[in-house]
Amino acid sequence: MLHPNVPAEYLNIISRAVFSAGLSWAFVDGKWDGFEAAFEGFNPTRIAAYDDAAIDRLTADPRLYASRKKMAATVENAKALVAIEREFGTIRAWLESFKTYVEATRDVSKRFKYLSKTFGAYYFLYISGARTPDFPSFEQWSEQTGEAHPRMRELVAANEGRDVGGPRTKKAQPSSRKSSPRTGAH
């Protein structure tokens, strides 16, 4: 697997994770050429300058699917990458600054819209080649988070040339709602 080398490649990776959230990866893959064209190759400097009118144009673009929140998140994520380069010199230097995986996921999910501390951060850090001394294997990550993301499993298997273990289905999360004393319903 080739790791990103230029800012546009990082924004492409982030955006693919953002736009794929809640959708079929195959659906997004089928439209990705349109996303790359509509977002001008994901050049963060250009995208960071997009205004509301540009976001509205993207939302109406028939090559894409309409999610104004995700379009706006892409603009915010481009601004975050520009800020990282200003602060650290390069995105790679920022990625290499992390001492622990927890620190890395916390910072990624804080800086970027719609990249959670679970799948989004792991996907971005894995693809980017960010490796802290305690960077978890897919199996460790899956066990820790309860996630069993099939796309990530495929990616790790192809990249590492091995059978990937761990849970095949997502662990059910306990309900946090209290039952009603009268009906027993949630």
Interval 64-91: pLDDT, tens? 988 999 999 999 999 999 999 999 999 9
| Residue-level pLDDT at 98 | 96
User: Do 115 and 130 contact (CB within 8 A), yes or no?
Assistant: no
Per-residue pLDDT at 178:
43
Q: Does the pLDDT at position 181 exceed 90? A: no
